[in-house]
Amino acid sequence: MLSWVTGAIGLAAAITIIVLIRKDHLHVRYGIWWIAVAAVFVVVGLYPGIVDHLAARLGIAYGPVLALTVGLTVFVIKILTIDIARSRDETRIVRLVQRIAILESEVDQLKREARDRAEGVEEGAERGE
C-alpha cells in the first residue's frame, strides 16, 4: 500500500510541476530537474525492490541507506547549483545597477548642457543677438 501512495505522490508532484511550468511560475530549466525527481519517486514508489536490488549489488546491507545517501547527495548538489546561480545573478544585478547609475549621470549631464544652451539662446535673444 505504501508503494502506491509514494507512486501517487510522485505522479501528483510531476503533474504539479508541469502545471507550474505551463503557467510560467517555474522556469523549464528547473522544472525538468524536478520532474526527474518526481519520476524517481514514482519508480521507487511502484517498484520499491529496485533500491534493495541496487544496494545489494553495491554491497550495502540496508537498502534505505543507499536511498538516503543518494537523495542527500543529489540535494547537496542542487543546493550548490542554486548558490552558483544566485551568485551569478547577484553579480549581474550589481553590474546592472552600476550601468544604470552611469546612464543616469550621463542623462543628468545632458540635461544640464541642454538647459545651459537654452538659457544661452534666451539671453542672446533678449540682447538682440
* pLDDT given at position 19: 92
pLDDT in tens, 100-119: 999 999 999 999 999 988 88
Whether the per-residue pLDDT at 128 is higher than 80: the answer is: no
- What distance in Å separates the CA atoms of residue 98 and residue 93, rounded to the nearest whole number? 9
Q: The pTM is what?
A: 0.65
What's the distance, CA 40 to chain centroid? 21
Going from N- to C-terminal start, the domains of the chain cover 1-47, 64-129
Give CA torsion, residues 73, 78, 79, 81, to 10 deg.
Answer: 130
- What distance in Å separates the CA atoms of residue 4 and residue 46, rounded to the nearest whole number? 6
Question: What nine digits make up the cell of 44?
Answer: 521507487
Is the pLDDT higher at 92 or at 129? 92
For residue 61, give the DSSP letter: S
pLDDT in tens, 1-17: 667 787 788 888 889 98
